[in-house]
Each structure stands twice: as structure tokens, then as C-alpha cells.
Amino acid sequence: MKRSAFIKRLLLLGISGTSASSLLASSERTKEDKSVEKAEETGPFAFLTKPYLQFPLPNAMTVMWVTTRKCYSWVEYGENDVCSQHATNAINGLNQAYNRVHKIRLNELKPGTQYAYKVYSK
């Protein structure tokens, strides 16, 4: 066998071996991802991270939290312990649902005013 033909065969074997190992690794990752998804669907529903405030501005605040399962979430808030306003995370008019990390921006707040808020996830 000529040296150039031998090198070509080695290269082809190396490339196909790499592809096979990549496919095997990706199928193993897929199995792991599916088992994590099943655990999320069947496990207990709870807060992994309790709600906390982020990115304050004089007239806005972001409320964030993490849940054990993907879900739809919203915040009810208002002045003087009366939570009469409702906020969701919407992008281009579509509510962002089926998430574990929840980030909801409260806009048009009055500067210097104390607000109460409640978070909901289901």
C-alpha cells in the first residue's frame, strides 16, 4: 500500500471515529437531559431561590426567583399592602411561560413609595 493511501485511510478512520464518539456523547447527554426533565415534571414544586429584588431604578424594580419546575409566573403588587396591580414577563406581547428562572419587571412605580408584592408560580 502506498504511503499516501495509508495516510488517507488513517485520516478517514480518525474522522469517522470522532463522529461516532461525538454521536455517542450526544446521545448520552440527551438521555441525561430527558431524565432531568422527568425529575422536573414529577418532583415537588418549590422555590429553589426565594424572590429577590434586582436592578432598582427610582421608578422600576425587577423581581426574580427560581422554581424547581418549569411554570408560568406573575407578580401582584401595589401600595399600602394592597396588591391591585399585575405584572408578567412578556416579550413582543407573548407571556414567557414554562420557565424555571423567573424575571418580572415592575415599571411605572412612584419614587420614594413603599410597595408590597406577591409572587405566583403554577
Look at residue 16 and tell me whether its pLDDT is greater than 60.
no
10-43 burial string, b = 16+ CB within 10 Å, else e?
eeeeeeeeeeeeeeeeeeeeeeeeeeeeeeeeee
* pTM recorded for the entire structure: 0.66
Map residue 19 onto helix, strand or coil.
helix
pLDDT digits (tens, 9 = 90+) for 36-93: 566 556 778 899 999 999 999 999 999 999 999 999 999 999 998 999 999 999 889 8
Q: Is residue 61 within 8 Å of residue 55, measured between CB atoms? A: yes
